[in-house]
């Protein structure tokens, strides 16, 4: 953990000034849509998978930074339910990344008290991917530092549809009256329910959309977009996002 105020030297490329973060007001839960791996690779005349490989290293960097800043949870969009449409070799490569990531970094993550989690549909995910992730979840389940929540084969509309289906079943079976369905109840069916909603969403690569990510949970989240491709995303960029978040007035519909 750093001091309450941390003055960072290598910062915001435009202003070239340090940003000062108030460590007593960091967001508890940050969600990230890691985008731009393919374009990063293309720009360098490399195959797309080179971008994913580099992106994996950036995951490690940002996890470390989030932990240093005292953030409670980081949810990272690693693979969406729509990503199956990609060429098979690319899908296979991405599905091997969690294993590669954990083989390389799990000892350090354990050392840093990180708790690994997964959210998404397990059906369809290769067994070697699940094995690696389940092992990491098991081995870190008693850690009480940063929660590193990988969204893998995750789609928000699917998540909401599943919630509605479960509630409908409760009504059908006579356990619940439709007029008793409320927001809290629906929220409790979301896969990230016990982490709380993200206060900040970061999306890299210049795309300004949510791409079926945590649609329920992001209702009041501050959104932060950057043109930087994920493999180029640095700790300084992450700090800039936190800094901007700290300078926004969150009113939740109030005044
Ligand atoms: C989006 O870039 C990236 C992905 C769909 C894969 C994300 C995966 C990683 C960053 C590595 C994950 C690491 C672990 C540990 C699971 P894109 O391919 O859509 O880029 P493009 O829009 O430029 O084509």
Average pLDDT over residues 6-29: 68
Model pLDDT, residue 13: 38
DSSP percent split of the chain into helix, strand, coil, nearest 5: 45, 15, 40
Model pLDDT, residue 253: 77
37 close to 47: Cβ distance less than 8 angstroms: no
The H or E element that residue 225 is part of is strand 222-225
Residue 99 Cβ < 6 Å to ligand 1: no
Q: Give the whole-angstrom CA distance, residue 4 versus residue 23.
A: 5
Q: What is the pTM of this model?
A: 0.92
118 close to 64: Cβ distance less than 8 angstroms: no
Tokens of 109: 């993550």
232 close to 255: Cβ distance less than 8 angstroms: no
Find the DSSP H helices in 70-155: 88-111, 127-140
pLDDT exceeds cutoff 90 at 213? yes
**Residue from 50, 52, 229 whose mutation best tests the ligand 1 pocket (most atoms within 8 A of CB):** 52
Q: What is the pLDDT of residues 111-145, one digit of tens each?
A: 999 999 999 999 999 999 999 999 999 999 999 99
Tell me the domain boundaries of the chain.
27-156+197-246
- Name the active-site residue from 37, 67, 83, 153: 83
Q: What is the CA radius of gyration of the chain?
A: 19
Tokens of 189: 């069916």
Tokens of 19: 């940003």
**Atom 5 of ligand 1, residue of closest alpha carbon:** 79
The matching CATH number, chosen from 3.40.1180.10, 3.30.70.1560, 2.120.10.30, 3.50.50.60, for 27-156+197-246 is 3.40.1180.10
Residue 228 Cβ < 6 Å to ligand 1: no
């Amino acid at each position: 953990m750093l001091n309450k105020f941390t003055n960072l030297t290598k910062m915001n490329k435009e202003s070239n000034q340090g940003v000062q973060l108030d460590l007593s007001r960091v967001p508890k839960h940050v969600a990230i849509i890691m985008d731009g791996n393919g374009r990063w690779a293309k720009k360098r005349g490399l195959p797309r998978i080179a971008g994913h490989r580099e992106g994996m290293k950036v995951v490690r960097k940002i996890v470390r930074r989030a932990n240093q800043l005292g953030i409670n949870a980081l949810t990272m969009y690693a693979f969406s339910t729509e990503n199956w449409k990609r060429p098979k070799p690319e899908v296979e490569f991405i599905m091997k990344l969690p294993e590669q990531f954990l083989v390389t970094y799990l000892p350090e993550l354990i050392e840093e008290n990180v708790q690994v989690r997964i959210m998404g549909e397990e059906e369809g995910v290769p067994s070697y991917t699940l094995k690696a992730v389940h092992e990491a979840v098991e081995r870190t389940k008693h850690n009480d530092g940063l929660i590193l929540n990988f969204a893998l084969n995750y789609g928000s509309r699917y998540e909401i549809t599943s919630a509605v289906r479960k509630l409908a079943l409760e009504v059908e079976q006579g356990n619940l009256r439709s007029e008793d369905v409320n927001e809290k109840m629906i929220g409790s069916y979301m896969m990230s329910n016990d982490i709380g909603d993200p206060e900040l969403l970061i999306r890299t690569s210049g795309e300004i959309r949510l791409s079926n990510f945590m649609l329920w949970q992001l209702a009041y989240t501050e959104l932060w977009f950057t043109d930087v491709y994920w493999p180029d995303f640095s700790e300084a960029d992450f700090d800039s996002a936190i800094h901007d978040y700290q300078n926004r007035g969150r009113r939740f519909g109030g005044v």
